[in-house]
Structure 1
Amino acid sequence: MGRHYIMRLLFVEQAVPQAVVSSWNDQKYVKEHLECLDSLSALHLWSETSLPGGLPGWTLSPTFRANLRIALLGGGQPWSVYSALEKDKHVRDANFLDQYALERWECVLHFMVGCHSKEGISADAVRILLHAGLMKMEEAEGSSPLITTEGFQFLLMDTASQVWYFVLQYLGTIQSRGLDLVECLTFLFQLSFLTLGRDYSTEGMSESLLLFLQHLREFGLVYQRKRRSGRFYPTRLAINLASGLKNARLNTADAGYIVVETNYRVYAYTCSQLQVALLALFCEMMYRFPNLVVGVITRESVRQALRSGITAQQIINFLHMHAHPIARRKDPVVPPTILDQLRLWELERDRFTFTGGVLYSQFISQSDFQMLRNYASDLGVLIWDNPSKRVMVVSRNGHDDVKRFWKRHRQDH
């Protein structure tokens, strides 16, 4: 619908009344029409303006209109990636590129769950995971990074959202690498217009852009047979990156595969090492067969996950998201006993609440203690007090106010 509006306004120089734009759709699509108006306004593709007579109207952004005309009418400079290439002796089809992208991306996910693959990932990719807060370093020297609660939430996303989030975090560090942010962003959006299964030239790329290409290669967004190869193939991850297509999957093995029983046993019908590693984050693995893995949810396995920053609700969401189709026929999908126990195990860690404060003690008289205690209580900064021992604790934020009040009181008396 938005594309329809844009194309009808593209060659209209003056503003168009909003009533005219509304008339382009049937009344039964009013909801979609309003959502479209909000989206186009949020993207600043058009803006609201006033027509002669006070009528409200819409006008396209001049910059957007000019550039879209160039793109549609064949103007502007041709992209260097379209330079002529000889026929590739090692041509790659869409199936190969999908498999390659899946393997490269799963290397990153394997590392996050602690199941290091043979190929592994570079130190640069590890730095991005740490920068994004998806993993954290333990205090012990020489220890490996551990997944955080944000990292586990990241694993619950669909692949397209994962890649988009990861690339955004990478772009946040790009200037510290000496790369041009605008150049890299432009190239990323150009990738979304390329064709899956076709090779493109690297001729004319700057050194910084070639380095950026190697990083995309590691993440599975592009394929290059050799580092110095003069051609590259975009994968589905790169082509769908800027399109918002969340339903375009690299594999068909993403259907639900988990069955949870009331005896805390978990049956996972999968051959994927990554999916097994995800379960091992909060399950004690017992048996492994060619297409079936059996684990059990124990207090210790859940506490270990909680210590790593994973929450009980995230575990519950994971079990719901990946539930086997047979399990989905039941209501609830996960037995209530399991849900309640997971939350209870989490509450075991929340028996104490730690609050930073400042201790006041050694009062000469009970009246001084009572006076200062009442003042702190009125301010709302009193955390704890013991009148019999003339001891009280105030919050750190309120310490300065209470201290000034006490000094004034002592000077006056």
Structure 2
Amino acid sequence: MTGAASKYSCLFLDFLITIPPNQRQRMLQKPSCAFFIYRMLPPIAQQVTIQLIWKGSFPQADDVEVTRQIEDQVKLLEELGVVHRQSDGKLAIDHDYKRSYMYAAMLGAASISSLVLETNEEKRRGKEVEKKAVERWDCILRYLALPSEENTQAVSETTRNLFKMANFTSGDSRIEITTSGFQFLLLSPVKQMWTYVIEYLKLEMSQGHDIVEVIEPLIQIVLLANRGYKAEKECYQIDPSWTGPQQELLNHLRELGVIFIRKRKDGVFFLTQLLTHLATNETIDDTSAEKVSNGKVIVETNFRVYAYTSSLLQLAIIALFTEMTYRFQDMSVGMITRESVRGALQHGITAAQIISFLRANAHPQCIATSGPVNCLPITVADQIRLWEDERRRMDLKDSYIYSNFESDEEFNGVCDYAKERKILLWADYQRKLVIVNEEGHEYVRQWYKQQKSKGGSDGR
């Protein structure tokens, strides 16, 4: 979310499967990584893992559907290297993972971190930290939603390269958002940030950096988010012995807004509330995700949209599928129309993404009155889906049509050959018309030449 579909509905786990086995094994040996992997596992996979750690086996289910679900989760654990299948077919927990997880479970998430807590001096933290953190993240989203020279300069070169490698943007001198970029903008904040972080890790791997060195401090920082609001008032040392990629990771987390560094010479960083996005599995329902700041949207049954926000970023995202008609200081009005939705669909945005976005950013009063689902009128949601279905009624393919046959024998010869090669799309025996797919045109030409050379039926 983006981009690409997640195989196991968790971008972090999907990424771990792709890294080399020796590096993944090194991660299983680290308590913080082992503990975090467990937290990101689906519930059934967590149960299987606990059963194998403490009992060495897990009970078989009687229900066929439950058995199938367990098998799917076991496959995930095997691909992660958390469990191994022995020669007798039984499953066993990985020894490194078991030792690391039990160590982390006994000490707790915060205690297994190598980060050093310092005495907090309020002046080192600065004012309006949370506001500045949100502004940093908004700069990244504005770079996608509102391409301009000013917004380009507001993000780092790493971010620009990351979006280009992720196929969110295209072009060099003039940046343009792609279909994947549009889809990214409509994701929930949790999915957006996880997508960004995974793409950053892929970028680090492409540059030949030791990915374990980058993931370990990232996980240790994310685990601190569980300490609650108190952790946001604490500061942690920036270890001068960190490697170049680790220092770069810290700068990148600062750009994301999940940590705050007032001045590098202070040698400390603070956590922000945005860090909770990375502490959350992105598989949570979009309607329960934290609402985008200043994003309060009301949709009426007549398809009119009221956006109570002054954020140009939020208005730009809403304008992806809405015809904006009025703009005031703190409120804008638009209409969801067939043309506006079809325009979004042509950019690769789906009806489900539009509906999910409107529900996730619904006005609190709409949610209080109608609930997290019906806050978007059912008639509007159904109509958006119907507009999407309209585009699926026809499947356009390049093809070739043959006509003006000189004889029935020639026509029947082409039809029979096209059927035999399975390249025939349609044939009209009354008007003597034959249509073949694009790949089949060359076959028909070669067949026709062979027939001519044999002195067979002529045609064109």
* TM-score, normalisation: structure 1: 0.71
Among 113, 116, 133, the residue aligned to 1:101: 133
Q: Distance in 2 between matches of 1:247 and 1:333?
A: 15
In structure 2, runs of 5+ residues without a counterpart are 1-42, 225-230, 456-460
**Partner residue, 1:26:** none
2:255 aligned partner, one-letter code: E
Counterpart of 1:380 (choices 422, 429, 436) is: 422
Report % sequence identity: 31
Higher gyration radius (CA): 1
Bigger CA drift: 205-214 or 304-313? 304-313
Contact 1:146 1:308 in 2 (8 A): no
Higher RCO (Cα < 8 Å, 6 or more apart): 2
Match of 2:239 in 1: 202
**Paired residue type of 1:244:** N
Residue aligned with 1:285, SS: strand
Paired residue for 1:144, among 175, 186, 189? 175
Aligned to 2:24: none
Residue in structure 1 matched with residue 35 of structure 2 by the alignment = none
Higher helix share: 2
Query: What is residue 113 of structure 1 aligned with on the other side?
Result: 145
Deviation at 1:62, TM superposition (A): 0.8
1:376 CA displacement? 0.8
Q: Distance in 2 between matches of 1:399 and 1:81?
A: 66
Count of residues in correspondence between the two structures: 388
Quote how far apart the aligned CAs of 1:123 are. Answer: 3.8
What is the RMSD computed on CA atoms of the aligned residues? 4.7
Tell me how far 1:204 sits from its aligned partner.
0.3
Distance 1:364 1:8 in 2: 76
CA distance in 1, matches of 2:400, 2:222: 57
Instruction: After TM superposition, give the deviation of residue 145 of structure 1 in Å.
Output: 1.5
The answer on whether the counterparts of 2:187 and 2:353 sit within 8 Å (CA) in structure 1 is: no
In structure 2, what residue type is equivalent to 1:202? D
Cα deviation for residue 401 of structure 1 reads 4.4
**Contact kept? 1:258, 1:324, Cα under 8 Å:** yes
AA aligned to 2:268 is R
**Cα 1:204/1:73, change in 2 over 3 Å:** farther
Asked whether the 8 Å contact 1:356–1:395 carries over to 2, the reply is: yes
Q: Secondary structure at 1:190's aligned position in 2?
A: helix
Return the match for 1:369 from 389, 408, 411: 411
- Corresponding position: 1:128 with 2:153: no
3-state SS, counterpart of residue 354 of structure 1? coil
**TM-score of the superposed pair, with normalisation by structure 2:** 0.65
Partner of 1:168: helix, strand, or coil?
Answer: helix
* 1:286 equivalenced with 2:318 (yes/no): no
Match of 1:219 among 256, 272, 297: 256
Matched, 1:92 2:136: no
Query: Which letter does structure 2 place at the counterpart of 1:314?
Result: Q
1:37-48 matches, within 5 Å, as 42-43=76-77, 44-46=81-83
CA contact (8 A) 1:236 1:250 kept: no
Could you list the per-position Cα deviations for residues 327-348 of structure 1 after superposition, in whole angstroms to 9, with x for gaps in the alignment?
4545965456645665676677
Q: Deviations along 1:373-407, whole A, 9 cap, x unmatched?
A: 23213443123567799764422333454445444
Q: Quote the residue 1:61 is aligned against.
A: 94
2:353 to 314, 330, 347: 314
- Which residue of 247, 255, 268 maps to 1:231? 268
